[in-house]
Structure 1
């Protein structure tokens, strides 16, 4: 086997000194200090990994900083990291992005460490050097000149054959490849613009989650090194990729967790739970699921610092008698008290509990009087029944289902258009009429559909 290999770390979107607005005021100094230091701690972990693995270089695909007004602390942290890597003969190659375009004088300074290359913005530059194992390496990159970069920078890269075709070639770019709608369209490009280059590896930045766009040639987003919110792209373990490339072999990737502060969302499905009317039943079940998920998270993290901010999301279909929304504040307080924070600098903190459940109801349990007073088509059906001698809403055993069945049967006999009547009932269930305190527009449409189908079948058999 050929022992010649190029090893490097692909990182992007470090957002050094990201402010984490609001965390300090809400959760106190321990969380504030952890959040404030998180992005720089991730950078320091990156440096340690690069040294331990004896990497040839570190590729940073943009958004090194959180904004063009770079603070002294962030600048000092980055330059310290570069100097430390220089002592171990590790190069740092940076293609700047929308948060750190090439318009600051210090980035152009001649006093920057000699192992640091910040690619120009006019056209892609090529940096050529030997790896530790003797392979020739071409690193090709281009930076943004302004924040709102609209050029297709990927189309400006030269094909591998136009360079030294025998060299291991790595591209670096901050770009929205494929025009992903959830992200700003900076330096928009098509995947074909990159795969046609036939580079051995293309390191992308801008999207904050890990994603392999192409295996051959390999085109990859490494994701951010430190999550910053509960957005889907910011949740979970964050870090960088260790990339190993051997001639004529598909690159090997290994994720290393760098982020010290994790945002996690825990889903709790209540649909399979037989809940009574006591809200503590739901609380006990939620706590059991969350506790199990927390244990899994703590066991699964590869980073020595275990700091989690949790958001619990309740979903599934639950009985309308269980007023989840009315107890959310109590659930949040109780669950927050039950979750035990770790010692030292570690902690697990509950940010909130969100209710995304859908209610279902039994027609036989709905108060007929409430329906009669609410107006709408069901009210007209009940009025029609009562006009013809019925007494809906006056007896304890009379139900809404009976009212609808009887009215439907009578109207069908008169009009002979059952499908239209069913359509009217469906429209009523989809309206915003309040039934027994519930907004029908918020109810699960699939459950309502099942009820109507069953109702129609029962009406057919009652003729």
Structure 2
């Protein structure tokens, strides 16, 4: 194989005989966030944190294995290979070794930097194999000459020069090259998505108008495909890092024929899949019934997951006389959940969320002291400006004592921080009432 840069050419020979030479095949991935630091998960369960912290590397190694086993022509990484300004050269050595495996297999790699890895020291200093093309801050393309009678392939790319890109990058890309398979790699938020800041915004219609055959995108962590004159793919991330990145994760195997036909196949990549498991405890009256429902829900979630490991957040809801006891004995309920998870195997409990309420007919009457306390908390304390000010001061003090990478646990802006404080305050009030409900002399019998 001969590798030349930019507007020159790379000629591919020795294509495996059992793979059609008329199709250009590649793996498309993005948002790998190698060695991303964990936050709240590390505080709750160090063993689980160790599993998840190593999962991004294992997912990336799995992508390399997939490229080799599928004998693709190239690997495309559409930004955020790293999580930030990495300082560990262990990450650099790992990456160089994995990309070296592709180089030995005759597979090219094309990488752009996104908002997270724009300033990465590794991106600037790491010496990558010759078969790896890391696009810079100016748009360019690489032309790949193929076999006799086959269309060449032009891979267009542009890296973020800075961590922010408020304007569209699309005008910087070259026009589609005639009689060529054109593939663009871009890191973009498109028209926006929940939980993602706006970066290099553009619309699918604008991408379609370029005449490119395929747009390999990155940034949004959920997979999406838009068909049309151009096939636009956001592959999602290959490995979730917390419950907000739940669901199956994958990379995309794409094949483009000389006639412009594009075929796609989603390939699972995650070592650990995060999942929200909902349990309706409405009507359950015995603790054993609750545990049985918990066990069934976990088994079902494990069956539906394709990842080697399942990390579950369990949410309980509904009216049940067990509501107070579930809050009071949340540690025992967690132990029950972890025991069932261990029995199922390859299953972890990330957190329990309890939003159950006592049945209406069993709630305290207006003369019950607990009823009066709850009404007072709801009406006069939680909505008090003085209480909110005291709560904010306490949270600010605690936040200031946390390590810098944990300080956004209370929220990333003023509105989110206020909502999070009130959520924690309400949960704390419910927990206090739950303990009072089952305390001697409260006037209520434990459930």
Question: TM-score, normalised on structure 2?
Answer: 0.71
1:293, distance to aligned residue in structure 2 (A): 2.4
Q: 1:13 aligns with which of 23, 31, 36?
A: 31
Q: CA deviation at 1:282?
A: 2.3
In 1, distance between residues paired with 2:235 and 2:360?
46
Match of 1:349 in 2: 348
- The alignment partner of 2:171 has SS state of helix
1:127 equivalent among 132, 139, 142: 142
Deviations along 1:20-65, one digit per CA (max 9) or x if unpaired, are 2354564345x45433322121121111111111111111000011
In structure 1, the partner of 2:214 is 201
The equivalent position to 2:191 in structure 1, one of 178, 181, 191, is 178
Provide Cα deviations, 1:198-218, integer angstroms capped at 9, x if missing partner.
211101111111112444421
CA distance in 1, matches of 2:86, 2:346: 31
Query: Quick one: distance in 2 between partners of 1:365 and 1:43?
Result: 53
Partner of 1:419: none
Counterpart Cα distance in 2 of 1:82 and 1:365: 62
Structure 1 residue 105, shift from structure 2 partner:
7.7
Alpha-carbon distance, 1:243 to partner:
0.5
Contact 2:38–2:53 at 8 Å: present in 1 too?
Answer: yes
Q: Trace 1:40-189 onto structure 2 (pairs within 5 A).
A: 40-101=57-118, 104=121, 107=124, 111-122=127-138, 124-131=139-146, 134-160=150-176, 163=177, 165-189=178-202
Hey, what does 1:281 align to over in structure 2? Answer: 289
Say if 2:259 is the partner of 1:259.
Answer: no
1:208-247 matches, within 5 Å, as: 208-231=221-244, 234-247=245-258
Q: 1:15 to 1:374 in 2, by over 3 A?
A: closer
What is the CA–CA distance in structure 2 between the aligned matches of 1:16 and 1:84, rounded to whole Å?
Answer: 17
Q: Distance in 1 between matches of 2:349 and 2:340?
A: 10
Unpaired segments of 5 or more residues in structure 2? 1-19, 374-431, 435-447
- C-alpha contact 2:213 2:260 (8 A) present in aligned 1: no
Deviations 1:242-269 (A, max 9, x none): 1011133542111112221222221223
Report the CA distance between 1:118 and its aligned residue.
1.1
Q: Is the 8 A contact 1:319 1:361 kept in 2?
A: no
Query: What's the offset of the Cα at 1:336?
Result: 1.3
Q: Deviations over 1:292-340 (max 9, x none)?
A: 322343xx34xxxx2222111123x324674343443321122212321
> Structure 1 residues 48 and 132, CA, compared in 2 at 3 Å: closer, same or farther?
farther
For residues 341 and 147 of structure 2, the distance between their equivalents in structure 1, rounded to whole angstroms, comes to 49
Question: TM (normalized to structure 1)?
Answer: 0.69
Q: RMSD across aligned C-alpha pairs, in angstroms?
A: 3.3
Where does structure 1 lack aligned partners over 5 or more consecutive residues? 376-436, 440-463
> Match for residue 319 of structure 2?
318
Q: Is the 8 A contact 1:5 1:135 kept in 2?
A: no
